[in-house]
């Protein structure tokens, strides 16, 4: 069994809602851990995409689009969360590389 990387707790917390991502950002402020930074960026981006599309769909209501959004979010959330639990730095499919580029302000 491999040893847990530094920052694993912050990485896991980041997937627990947008508030969890903000808490993880503060948890990783000092000392800074690359594992936590990676997963915090992934989770923060995923939560923002979900909220953004949710706001859009609240104006343009289509029940099938809501189903697609929730399925998309849940599948990608599980992918990232399981990756953090298994001590891996795997980018979320489709959007993960963008999150790493866009959220460089996350320490």
What is the length of the chain? 107
Cα 7 → chain centroid: 15
Task: Check residue 1 and give its pLDDT.
Answer: 52
- Domain ranges in the chain are 8-101
CA atoms within 13 A of residue 83's CA, in its CB half-sphere:
23
Q: Each residue of 3-13: pLDDT tens digit?
A: 778 889 999 99
Task: Check residue 38 and give its pLDDT.
Answer: 95
* Prediction pTM value: 0.89
What is the band of 36 on the pLDDT scale with cuts at 50, 70, 90?
Answer: very high
Q: Are 5 and 33 in contact (CB under 8 A)?
A: yes
Q: Each residue of 51-96: pLDDT tens digit?
A: 999 999 999 888 899 999 999 999 999 999 999 999 999 999 989 9
Collapsing DSSP to helix, strand or coil, 98 comes out as: helix
Q: How far apart are CA 55 and CA 35, in angstroms?
A: 30
Q: Based on C-alpha coordinates, what's the Rg of the chain?
A: 14
């Amino acid at each position: 069994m491999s040893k847990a990387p530094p920052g694993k707790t912050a990485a896991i917390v980041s997937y627990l809602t947008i508030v969890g991502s903000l808490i993880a950002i503060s948890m990783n402020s000092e000392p800074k851990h690359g594992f936590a930074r990676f997963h915090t960026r992934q989770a923060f981006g995923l939560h923002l995409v979900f909220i953004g599309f949710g706001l859009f769909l609240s104006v343009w209501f289509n029940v099938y689009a809501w189903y697609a959004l929730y399925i998309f979010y849940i599948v990608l959330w599980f992918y990232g969360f399981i990756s953090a639990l298994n001590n891996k730095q795997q980018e979320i499919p489709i959007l993960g590389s963008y999150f790493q580029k866009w959220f460089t302000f996350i320490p």
